[in-house]
Structure 1
Amino acid sequence: MKSGMVEKEGFAALVLRLRSEGISDLDLLTAVEQTQRSQFVPPPLAEDAYSSRTVPIDCGSFMEGADLAVRLLHRLQVKPGHRVLEIGTGSGFTAAVIARIAERVLTVERYRTLVTAAQSRMDALGLRNVVVRQADGGNGMPGEGTFDRIFVTAAFPSLPRFYAEQLTHGGSMLAPLMDGEACMMVRLTKTGSRFEREDLFPVPFLPIVPHIAAAL
């Protein structure tokens, strides 16, 4: 089967699964459709691009399944005009989808190999409103101004309150929190200098690792 047909069928199946969960955000689904996910997975695993399975990528990292990726972006609620910070670029897929909706995306990753690959994909897609940077995102990105949304895909041991200064008033972030052996994705909405917390669902993310990688 030709790659284009595999892409269309994979996306169509994904949309059906998402709609069964009540996710039918047209802007988000259009952004996902325009961002061919098969271009972000290793070529031997292209047929898994739209599956719910986790896909391994370079540097011992992984892409969450397509269903979980879109479910998280749905909860992030990115709108036109937003400035978004992503901690954990990985393949660059979620940053690319966000960039089709938001005004600007700053995505950071500790592995140079992943940064280089993600930047190449952004260039190929013509996405000029994404900045991909190798950096330690453990404390956010102080000095970069404030963001309307912050999206983190590495788990913190406790509520990351230092992010409050990096969110606009009414801004929100999604971040995984470790709770014993479990990892829960939570949405934190800034009200004044405080966070309102909403627990969403368990996620398979690993604890955050400080500093940029010495190799790779």
Structure 2
Amino acid sequence: MTVAESEERAQFTLAMRARGINDLKLLRALERAPRALFMPPRFADISARDIALPIGCGQTSPPPSIVAAMIASLDVQPAHSVCEIGTGTGYCAALLAQLANNVVSLERFQTLALEASARIKAFGLANVAVHWADGFDHHASGDRYDRVIVHGLIEPPAEVFRRLIRPGGVLVAVVAGPERGEQHIVRLTDGTSGAGEAQDMGPAHAMRPLERGLARAL
């Protein structure tokens, strides 16, 4: 690692702390997996900025602070099995894989799924499985997870995704707020220990509505 790269990573970590990301394990994961490694090469110079970036197939990579805030809301533990809906570039999966036992990541665009899988393999992570699949249908598989994260704007109560979590599990996603353009990160439980109502974990932005269906490319 060059001095410039080291300084850039340090500045990135400070920026995440300034945005309320204080979990040391998550901060270390962010340091070990620079966003630039998971973005199209043309964005190498700006990947460390806390901005959304286009990634192909009409999709975007959310700002790192939003990704980190969603992961922090999950409270991932080393023994956990995690399901990610919306692989995108593979960046979030790479972060989750450093915190969890294993990660199953689903991407509806085949092009993005293949690219993300290649990036994750090149990064050296063996506990991530990327699948070209529709997250809306995954509950039919019968698979259940300790933690589920959904990258996309959804409508509560999100039962189709809540079915993916084990008893005592947690789902984190983004929902629209009452004001136009307003978005919030929400944490939902399976409902076994209560009503399973959404807990507001803070503001979000730049999330597109989650869509159904498989596609090879846009």
Give the TM-score normalised by the residue count of structure 2: 0.89
How much has 1:140 moved relative to structure 2? Answer: 4.0
Match of residue 199 from structure 2: 198
**Aligned residue-pair number:** 214
How much has 1:139 moved relative to structure 2? Answer: 4.1
Match of residue 169 from structure 2: 171
2:189 aligns to what SS in structure 1?
strand
Kept in 1: contact 2:57–2:217 (CA 8 A): no
How much has 1:116 moved relative to structure 2? Answer: 0.8
Match of residue 28 from structure 2: 30
2:21 aligns to what SS in structure 1?
coil
Give percent identity, aligned residues only: 32
Alpha-carbon distance between aligned partners in 1 of 2:146 and 2:5, rounded to the nearest angstrom = 32
1:95-117 CA distance string (max 9 Å, x none): 01101111110101111111111
Match of residue 55 from structure 2: 57
Kept in 2: contact 1:136–1:212 (CA 8 A): yes
How much has 1:49 moved relative to structure 2? Answer: 1.4
Match of residue 98 from structure 2: 100
Alpha-carbon distance between aligned partners in 2 of 1:153 and 1:136, rounded to the nearest angstrom = 13
Match of residue 153 from structure 2: 155
How much has 1:168 moved relative to structure 2? Answer: 1.5
CA separation of 1:90 and 1:147: change in aligned 2, threshold 3 A: same
How much has 1:202 moved relative to structure 2? Answer: 3.2
Kept in 1: contact 2:187–2:199 (CA 8 A): yes
Match of residue 215 from structure 2: 213
How much has 1:18 moved relative to structure 2? Answer: 2.3
Alpha-carbon distance between aligned partners in 2 of 1:107 and 1:74, rounded to the nearest angstrom = 18
Counterpart amino acid of residue 209 in structure 2: P
CA separation of 1:69 and 1:6: change in aligned 2, threshold 3 A: farther
Counterpart amino acid of residue 210 in structure 2: I
> Is 1:12 the counterpart of 2:25 in the alignment?
no
How much has 1:194 moved relative to structure 2? Answer: 4.0
Kept in 2: contact 1:157–1:179 (CA 8 A): no
Alpha-carbon distance between aligned partners in 1 of 2:217 and 2:25, rounded to the nearest angstrom = 38
Match of residue 43 from structure 2: 45
How much has 1:214 moved relative to structure 2? Answer: 4.8
1:185 aligns to what SS in structure 2?
strand
Alpha-carbon distance between aligned partners in 2 of 1:66 and 1:4, rounded to the nearest angstrom = 22
Output the aligned Cα RMSD.
2.0
Give unmatched runs, 5+ long, in structure 2: none
Counterpart amino acid of residue 44 in structure 2: A
Give unmatched runs, 5+ long, in structure 1: none
Match of residue 188 from structure 2: 188
Instruction: Output aligned runs, 1:59-98, within 5 Å.
Output: 59-98=57-96
The farther-off stretch of 193-202 and 119-128 is 193-202
Kept in 2: contact 1:7–1:36 (CA 8 A): no
Alpha-carbon distance between aligned partners in 2 of 1:174 and 1:14, rounded to the nearest angstrom = 24
How much has 1:8 moved relative to structure 2? Answer: 2.3
CA separation of 1:25 and 1:109: change in aligned 2, threshold 3 A: same
